[in-house]
Amino acid sequence: MQDEGEITGTGERGNGGTRKDGVRAVTRSREVPPMKIERFEMERYQSTWETTVEFNLADSGVHPITLAALVDHSWIREVLAREQLGYGHTNGSEELRTLIAGLYHAAGPEHVLVTTGAAEANFLITWALLDRSDEAVVMLPNYMQIPSLARAWGAETVSWWLRPVPGLMGPGTGLREPAQWGPDLEELERLVSPKTKAIFVCNPNNPTGAVLSVEAMNAVCAAAARVNAWVVADEVYRGAELDGHLTGSFWGRYSKVIVAGGLSKAYGLPGLRIGWIVAPHEVIQVLWGHHDYTTIAPSVLSDHLARVALGPRVFQRLATRTRLILNENLEAVARWVEGMGGLVDWIAPKAGAIAFLRYRPAVNSTELATQLRKAHDVLVVPGDHFQLDRHVRIGYGGEKRLLEEGLRRTGEFLRTL
């Protein structure tokens, strides 16, 4: 078991002194085996085709806003245009880190590192945290960056699956609640072992749109605490809840929690490439050191615009916009599923601009997505990219007219199979 708060500066445990902050400073003289990166199939697939199709239903965030919708022209002229294009604060400006900390209970700017998107946040976390001798319990289905990176650093990954759970009969109503994707917490207890360095979760979940209950979140923390492991929570879809109630964070539920977040998915600002990590201060210091080897610093323009976005009035406006887009567009998806006559079924998402659909035809999901793209100019994400064949992920956060036509074409195609 690792010491409380221990993340080494090299991403490996070994001989070395311990600093006053409790983080072990490790010096390595022997060679470390090269990192073996797996092909990131989903990102390669999306990057290859998303700009070539007319109907892109592969995006997982809410439709991006324009710069003019974020700030007025006078502000651009008087403030942004005068910004020197140098390096800013490499860990993010104190004002931005303070605004981000305000999204988490009892967090301060010292608990925040600003990154180039949540993807860099995940990279830094796995790099600093995982060694060849470690085990990582990973929630699935999931954005597959985490399990691939864990294996790249030499850790063993253990899959912990969310599964469809039938709705319970409502007490006294005689009505059955909707089905949902849910965790098997007893299975988690069996999977966690003394070798477990961290439990990785994605909440709200990609691709299912499921949201863990408070009880489930606490159970995850308890399972980690039993073996002195970390909980690493990708919370990038937090803020994209259909009912408008902000999903509770894992931050503050346990002393060994690391959270990744960002402005891309829930707030329509992927072009800013602003993500962040929230973690204990001594861990942030180590991660900041790793950040020196990657992107070094966020763009000063993005830092400034992110401060505007996270200001109270603008942030509330962005959250309201997200909720309106998602609720209106999800109704269109629901009508389409209903009209497919059983060819498609789903468990409706609770958060995020993504719906995970199961289809009836006996066709591999990658083959189906390829044929759909070629025949109808529609891009969806195959379930193969989440290790669940006979499913596709649909992004419904874009323009409604494109969504509806993309779904119409998808339905037309499915009826031919």
Along the chain (417 residues), what's the average pLDDT of each consecutive run of 10 residues?
Answer: 50 42 48 77 96 98 97 91 94 99 98 98 98 96 97 97 81 68 98 98 98 98 99 98 97 99 98 99 98 97 97 96 98 98 97 98 98 99 98 98 99 98
The answer to whether residues 306 and 359 belong to one domain is no
pLDDT value for 36: 83
Alpha carbon distance 262, 121 (integer Å): 9
pLDDT value for 11: 41
The answer to whether residues 301 and 389 belong to one domain is no
Residue 259 lies in a domain: yes
Q: What is the CATH number of the domain that holds 140?
A: 3.40.640.10
The answer to whether residues 283 and 333 belong to one domain is no
Residue 48 lies in a domain: yes
Residue 321 lies in a domain: yes
Q: What is the CATH number of the domain that holds 375?
A: 3.90.1150.10
Residue 217 lies in a domain: yes
Residue 339 lies in a domain: yes
The residue among 280, 296, 314 that closes a domain is: 314
Q: Which domain holds residue 364?
A: 41-66+317-414
The answer to whether residues 157 and 230 belong to one domain is yes
pLDDT value for 122: 98
Residue 134 lies in a domain: yes
The residue among 293, 314, 335 that closes a domain is: 314
pLDDT value for 31: 59
The answer to whether residues 153 and 254 belong to one domain is yes
The answer to whether residues 142 and 215 belong to one domain is yes
pTM (2 d.p.): 0.91
Q: Count of CB atoms within 10 A of residue 248's CB?
A: 18
The answer to whether residues 304 and 160 belong to one domain is yes
The answer to whether residues 323 and 405 belong to one domain is yes
The residue among 314, 346, 365 that closes a domain is: 314
The answer to whether residues 104 and 125 belong to one domain is yes
Residue 102 lies in a domain: yes
The answer to whether residues 288 and 381 belong to one domain is no
Residue 130 lies in a domain: yes
The answer to whether residues 170 and 251 belong to one domain is yes
Q: What is the domain count for the chain? A: 2
pLDDT value for 8: 56
The answer to whether residues 218 and 179 belong to one domain is yes
